[in-house]
A and B are shown apart, each in its own frame.
Chain A
């Protein structure tokens, strides 16, 4: 299977730790990623509220580039937001013939014109679970994360909504109401995954700028639920949740107190750490919420 890798805008900016740790983990387990380096923004939630056609054209151009240049069978992204946009465009291409012909004529004008809604869209977490899986992770552990209590957080758009996640799927998908792929992968590193009620709740990140106080309240609910569950650290698979829960954490703590103070990392950073990769390469010093302190105290870095 040939895979195109679509990092998305965030991973080339503030969430570079996710981009770099994803590549390290993929390489370590023999997953070859062909980076679509001329990617454009997927349009996120803003395009679909503004213009229906554009909301299909933007993600379609990314998939067209992956297919036209690399002849991929599937495109993988580590971002919940990009994943949503790509799946949504794929669903429209398969269910709405008018949308499909608009998109195809757009791609013929500006791109390769090869994409017709016919490649699989995958989230890196789902791909990694299915192609590698907890067993192989367990066997590859060089430094066990034993003693580290992790809250495994998924965010919203990872397995929702079914109207688009059902379309064009060939691989085994996570449970949409009670996701567990990340839990099992993290448990395979030796870490203790705590039972955590807010695992698939919303961090409010979509309104992090438009409605700051509500977004902070939602984020605080997730962070304090993780802390209450006894977690030392929260791991996640989405750069937008990362921005909301990590970069915004100082503001959240200011408004909601120390109950919401907990280090936040990408799940790929913890898997990389268990593989024996260095904190520097995994950019574990990037998060504002300072995971280095707890990792040091557990003797992991």
Chain B
């Protein structure tokens, strides 16, 4: 960097220093492939990924780094854009899906990247490529949730919890003393209803939504 100490004079003031190297220039890596970028772009919410200019505002305001070591939305986007699929899988696959959707990143992004949805799309990209070797909790919950919404129209909180635990093979945990006493309190106070509200003509809507999924 030392050779970049050229003199520069602005309004009669001489500036010295490595001003040209305020930020190192970007290098286009030879191994860049847009294959993964294009895949993520097509997933729900992935569309805006290419607008990112890597400023890091998302990661700076992110809820998670304080609690989850190495959680870094800017970094996830960078790896996808540079085509570093192997690194994404080996070092970050257990992190990407941890996003809690607080949307501070999307809110603050100066470029209009829908960062929260992009991070979810990257997680989905990894799920679709079966890198986890099993159904992740996130996928399981999304499936259970969407099934219930499409079939019933509304979410019944008890049913969704039960179905989720069943799908992830943890039904026993749900039957722990603490959970049961909580459930009992909810039930006796009337907050758990055995027969949820039904929506008139939902069958027709349900049918139409299912067509949409095909």
Flag whether A278 is at the interface (Cβ < 8 A).
no
On whether the beta carbons of B146 and A47 are closer than 8 Å, the reply is yes
Stretch at the interface among B12-20, B31-39, B77-85, B97-105: B97-105
Stretch at the interface among A5-13, A138-146, A187-195: A5-13
On whether the beta carbons of B191 and A48 are closer than 8 Å, the reply is no
Flag whether A26 is at the interface (Cβ < 8 A).
no
On whether the beta carbons of A38 and B199 are closer than 8 Å, the reply is yes
Pick the contact of A156 from B104, B145, B161, B186 — CB < 8 Å?
A: B104
On whether the beta carbons of B202 and A286 are closer than 8 Å, the reply is no
Flag whether A296 is at the interface (Cβ < 8 A).
no
On whether the beta carbons of B104 and A286 are closer than 8 Å, the reply is no
A48-B45 Cα distance, complex, nearest whole Å: 7
A250-B193 Cα distance, complex, nearest whole Å: 22
A51/B154 contact (C-beta < 8 A), A210-B137, A211-B98, A288-B182 known:
no
On whether the beta carbons of A55 and B44 are closer than 8 Å, the reply is yes
Interface residues as binary, B180-206 with A (CB distance below 8 Å gives 1, 0 otherwise): 001001100111110011011110110
A287-B71 Cα distance, complex, nearest whole Å: 34
On whether the beta carbons of B200 and A209 are closer than 8 Å, the reply is no
Interface residues as binary, A49-65 with B (CB distance below 8 Å gives 1, 0 otherwise): 11111110110010000
Interface residues as binary, A30-73 with B (CB distance below 8 Å gives 1, 0 otherwise): 00000001111101111111111111011001000000000000
User: Number of B residues contacting the other chain (C-beta, 8 Å)?
Assistant: 57
Pick the contact of B106 from A163, A209, A214, A247 — CB < 8 Å?
A: A163
Pick the contact of A40 from B120, B140, B192, B199 — CB < 8 Å?
A: B199
On whether the beta carbons of A206 and B44 are closer than 8 Å, the reply is no
On whether the beta carbons of A163 and B157 are closer than 8 Å, the reply is no
Interface size class for chain A?
A: 35 or more
Enumerate B160-174 residues with CB–CB distance to A below 8 Å: 161, 164
On whether the beta carbons of B212 and A160 are closer than 8 Å, the reply is no
On whether the beta carbons of A214 and B68 are closer than 8 Å, the reply is yes
On whether the beta carbons of B102 and A160 are closer than 8 Å, the reply is yes
On whether the beta carbons of B197 and A12 are closer than 8 Å, the reply is yes
Stretch at the interface among B2-10, B21-29, B111-119: B111-119
Pick the contact of A251 from B124, B164, B178 — CB < 8 Å?
A: B178
Flag whether B1 is at the interface (Cβ < 8 A).
no
Given contacts A57-B209, A202-B104, A207-B98, 9 further A-B contacts (CB under 8 A): A40-B149, A48-B117, A51-B213, A54-B150, A57-B212, A110-B201, A160-B107, A161-B103, A163-B112
Which A residues fall within an 8 A CB radius of B? Answer: 9-10, 12-14, 16, 37-41, 43-55, 57-58, 61, 84, 106, 109-111, 156-157, 160-163, 176, 201-202, 204-207, 209-211, 214-215, 217-218, 221, 243, 247, 250-251, 254, 285-286, 288
Which B residues fall within an 8 A CB radius of A? Answer: 44-45, 63, 67-68, 98, 100-104, 106-107, 112, 114, 116-117, 120, 124, 137-138, 140-142, 145-146, 148-150, 153-157, 161, 164, 178, 182, 185-186, 189-193, 196-197, 199-202, 204-205, 208-209, 212-213
Instruction: Report 15 cross-chain contacts, Cβ distance below 8 Å, ordered by A residue.
Output: A9-B155, A12-B197, A13-B155, A13-B196, A40-B205, A41-B149, A41-B153, A48-B120, A50-B142, A84-B103, A110-B208, A205-B100, A207-B100, A218-B63, A286-B191
